[in-house]
Amino acid sequence: MTNQEDRNVFSTLLTVGGALTAFFIFSIASANAAVDSMVESATIDRIKPFGEVNIGTVPVAAATTSAPSASVDGKGTYSASCAACHVSGVAGAPKFADKDAWKARIAQGESTLFDHAINGFKGMPAKGGNASLSDDDVKAAVTYMVDGSK
């Protein structure tokens, strides 16, 4: 073979190789477009919610730490949501009417007690674990427990 023939063979191989490479890339790109839309559709179907949870309205934090209104039932809130822990002292919760356990807490002030009860503190979850309570409900229950523990 001559030098010219070698160049022609090499040129032909490069042309055929380039064409095959371009065809291969085009095939993969078009296949990926179809697969991508199928994958996206399947992913959306897998992660879409199949239901919803409605826990009511999210209470807005009170701007002040004033005492609850008289229309809120502190005793009822305490019985329904707080007594589970505050009757027996679960996880260090001060027992209702235990003057010694409440003395230091009451000394911190009403606003601190309200804040701890509404937002949670140490082992106590926010609103005693009952997110449906309004801030006024929690404040009324705290006031009821404090009044019963003085």
Q: What is the largest CA-CA distance in the chain?
A: 112
Task: Encode pLDDT of 16-43 as tens digits.
Answer: 988 999 888 877 766 555 556 777 778 7
Question: What confidence score (pLDDT) does residue 22 get?
Answer: 87
Domain regions of the chain by residue span: 1-52, 74-147
Give dist(CA 33, CA 16) in Å, integer. Answer: 26
Sign of CA dihedral 37, 40, 45, 46: positive
Task: Encode pLDDT of 59-111 as tens digits.
Answer: 554 444 455 555 688 888 888 889 888 888 888 889 999 999 999 999 999 99
Task: Pull the structure tokens for residue 34.
Answer: 């179809």
Question: What confidence score (pLDDT) does residue 111 get?
Answer: 93
- Kindly give, in sequence order, each residue whose CB lies less than 8 Å from that of residue 116, ignoring residues fewer than 6 positions away: 124
Task: Encode pLDDT of 112-133 as tens digits.
Answer: 999 999 998 888 889 988 899 9
Amino acid found at 61: A
CA distances from 130 to 66, 84, 125 (A): 21, 12, 9
Q: What is the dihedral angle through the alpha carbons of 50, 55, 56, 57, rounded to the nearest 10 degrees? A: -100
Q: Which fold has domain 74-147?
A: Cytochrome Bc1 Complex; Chain D, domain 2 (1.10.760)
